[in-house]
Structure 1
Amino acid sequence: MNTLRFFARRTGFYLFTAWAAITINFLLPRFMKGDPIQAYLARNQGRVSPEATESLKILFGLNTDKSLLEQYADYWRLMLSGDLGRSLSHGLAPVTDVIASALPWTIGLVGIATILSFAIGTLLGSLIGWNRGSRADVIVPISTFFSTVPYFWMGLIAIAVFGSNLGWFPTSHAYGQGTVPAWNLDFILEVIHHGTLPAMTIVIASLGGWILGMRNMMITILDEDYVTVAQAKGLPARRVLSRYASRNAVLPQIQSFALALGFIVGGTLVMELVFSYPGVGKMLLDATAAKDYPLMQGLFLIITLTVLVANILADVAYAVLDPRTRQTEA
């Protein structure tokens, strides 16, 4: 009963949050100065006829006398049918198609880098916390230092050292110029080669937080009675580490990891700019600069919903791994 009540409350909370985010996403462009048609005409002065302008107004629903509430209802209807509008900066292509062209690049690069950073950082933090006071502690300040370095600076250093000077990796783009994307081994290896440098930069920049968080939780857990009892029983150190200490210390890490996965869709904007990577983050910046409101709305919607789903997964994982959460909520 407590479990059902817990999940019912969380579901209600997230449904309300999703409604609020979608409503704000609907209202913001309507409160901004101008409209997408005016921005499009400003970039194409003298090249758009009055007839084409009127057609654009019809396409974007700007020639209607409908009230704001009626427009809101239309927005929900179109959104639920998968129609997020047309992108003015991409030749009036459907927003869903434009986002779909960039989303795999961001998920592939930032997603893999985030998973690697979490796995490596959690493992190292667990071992460092278990062997506190050893020489391994030196890893913590070193990794923390790299986490404090501005990302764009680290990316530029990586490009200068490993790209320009050593020539080990390409310095920009997801694949070489003139390459035709295809599902074959040569293209996949080329994408991996281009993505290694930005992925490595993401891992190094975020590793310190995972190591420090896991190490601190391990030190706290090691003072708990159940760990002391397990050691007093003469259980092998490896079993105490994996079954008792790490299993409980990793709970906050899992929640943070789920949230980090939610922000993967937003991409690492600075990374995509530094490496000219064709991801969602760079697309959002380009859409903002071009005042492409439909594309901005679509990107904000996708990012917001992804973060909400990640929060739901974090709550579920935490509730499954720690039953005390459900009791507290109840």
Structure 2
Amino acid sequence: MSLAPGAVTSATVSVAQATAKKKSPKGRGSFLLKRLGFYLAAAWAAITLNFVIPRLMPGDPSAAIIDQLERVSGQALAPATLQSIQGLFGNPQENLFEQYLGYLGQLARFDLGVSIVNFPVPVSDLVAAGLPWTLLLVGTTTIAAFVIGTALGVAAGWRAGSRFDTIVTPLVTFVSSVPYFWIALLAVWFFGFILGWFPLGGGYDPNLPVGVNIPFLLSTLQYGALPAATIVFSAFGGWMLGMRNMTVTTVGEDYVLLAQAKGLSPARVRWRYAARNAMLPQFTGFAMALGGVVGGALLTEIVFSYPGIGYLLFSALQKRDYPVMQGVFLLVTLAVLLANLIADSVYATLDPRVREGS
């Protein structure tokens, strides 16, 4: 008995759809495993480079740092401190492979060595003290700039050539081209020095006791408001321009035109069809921005003397505090890799073409 051509086609499509449904979770899992393996290899490479680079310095870096620490402190270092520094920068009496194993063991214990300038404070304590400030300021402003810029980009791209687009887009382009340090310095001069609305620098009022209490929290908000505003003001333009251009491209796609022809509401077509697909490339940049949050907004923290990771790295560079520089570089590298792994996972879930193409 023969089947009609339409029946054959329907049966074929049904089988293909069932097969795709069965293979989809497996494809997503395979893609994520591959990406996880890649990022683990990249993390291992970053850790290894962080181990090798100090040992490429001429002479014995650990001996030079120990000598500098003893001159600063005026006394011999404790055996535990010597062991920590030699484990980080190398003991000339040990085999290089044994040093590498010891270095990995230190990292497993979150031991990043001892700061030269702030001896005998461990680097991990300095990083732990600056990291919450950076996450609070840069993390919040990065998300705010992304949300504001993306929403304005959808509005401008959905009606390209409208009055809103012709006025806002050139202004945002101009603002995005202005160097950030100039905006930050201008904000400090006008709002801090001339008007006196905000403090000129710092993260909180030094006269208040540090703790979870209302006066201290209000102080942190007052000191962080101006840096946060400058970051959002200078960063949202890039998100808006990128989203605007992607939305203009997406509006002309067949699935958007079909949704409009079906009589769906303009808001639903705009956000569920056009914006949802135009937003996919934004996630890559957003992941990089989130990874960079751990490194802090270096210029922001320098201009405003904000006590975050960026200002800690700047101080370490000025004073040649190699253990602190090494610890911050490693932390930032691992944070960027983790953020990209999360972005790949989200991207593969939102767009099946990514995992099937791999």
Does the TM-score normalized on the shorter chain lie above 0.5? Answer: yes
Please name the residue that 2:154 is paired with: 126
Please name the residue that 2:356 is paired with: 327
1:292 maps onto 2:318 in alignment: no
Please name the residue that 2:245 is paired with: 216
Matches within 5 A, 1:189-268: 189-268=218-297
Q: Contact between 1:37 and 1:56, CA under 8 Å: does it hold in 2?
A: no
Deviation track 1:261-296 (CA, whole Å, cap 9, x = no partner) reads 000010111111100111101111211222222222
Question: Unaligned 5+ residue runs, structure 2?
Answer: 1-25
Deviation track 1:185-239 (CA, whole Å, cap 9, x = no partner) reads 2211110111111111111111111000000010000010000011111111011
Matched residue of 1:263: which SS? helix
Separation in structure 2 between the aligned mates of residue 301 and residue 218 of structure 1, nearest angstrom: 37
Separation in structure 1 between the aligned mates of residue 46 and residue 117 of structure 2, nearest angstrom: 24
Q: CA deviation at 1:303?
A: 0.6
Please name the residue that 1:155 is paired with: 184
Q: Contact between 2:66 and 2:85, CA under 8 Å: does it hold in 1?
A: no
Separation in structure 2 between the aligned mates of residue 47 and residue 200 of structure 1, nearest angstrom: 41
Q: CA deviation at 1:242?
A: 1.3
Separation in structure 2 between the aligned mates of residue 65 and residue 148 of structure 1, nearest angstrom: 54
Q: Contact between 2:149 and 2:239, CA under 8 Å: does it hold in 1?
A: yes
Please name the residue that 1:48 is paired with: 74
Separation in structure 2 between the aligned mates of residue 3 and residue 47 of structure 1, nearest angstrom: 56
Please name the residue that 2:112 is paired with: 84
Q: CA deviation at 1:39?
A: 4.7
Q: Contact between 1:113 and 1:203, CA under 8 Å: does it hold in 2?
A: yes
Matched residue of 1:86: which SS? coil
The change in CA–CA distance for 1:187 and 1:175 in structure 2 (over 3 A counts) is: same
- Aligned alpha-carbon RMSD (Å): 1.9
The change in CA–CA distance for 1:226 and 1:13 in structure 2 (over 3 A counts) is: same
The change in CA–CA distance for 1:36 and 1:268 in structure 2 (over 3 A counts) is: farther
The change in CA–CA distance for 1:99 and 1:173 in structure 2 (over 3 A counts) is: same
Determine which structure has more spread, i.e. the larger CA radius of gyration. 2
1:5 maps onto 2:30 in alignment: yes
Instruction: Give percent identity, aligned residues only.
Output: 47
1:19 maps onto 2:19 in alignment: no
Deviation track 1:132-187 (CA, whole Å, cap 9, x = no partner) reads 11111221221222222111111110011111111111110001222221101221
Matched residue of 2:293: which SS? coil
Deviation track 1:61-113 (CA, whole Å, cap 9, x = no partner) reads 25551011110010001111222221122222122111000000011001111
Separation in structure 1 between the aligned mates of residue 257 and residue 64 of structure 2, nearest angstrom: 69
Q: Contact between 2:154 and 2:247, CA under 8 Å: does it hold in 1?
A: yes
The change in CA–CA distance for 1:209 and 1:46 in structure 2 (over 3 A counts) is: closer
Q: What count of residue pairs does the alignment treat as equivalent?
A: 328
Please name the residue that 2:3 is paired with: none
Matched residue of 1:103: which SS? helix
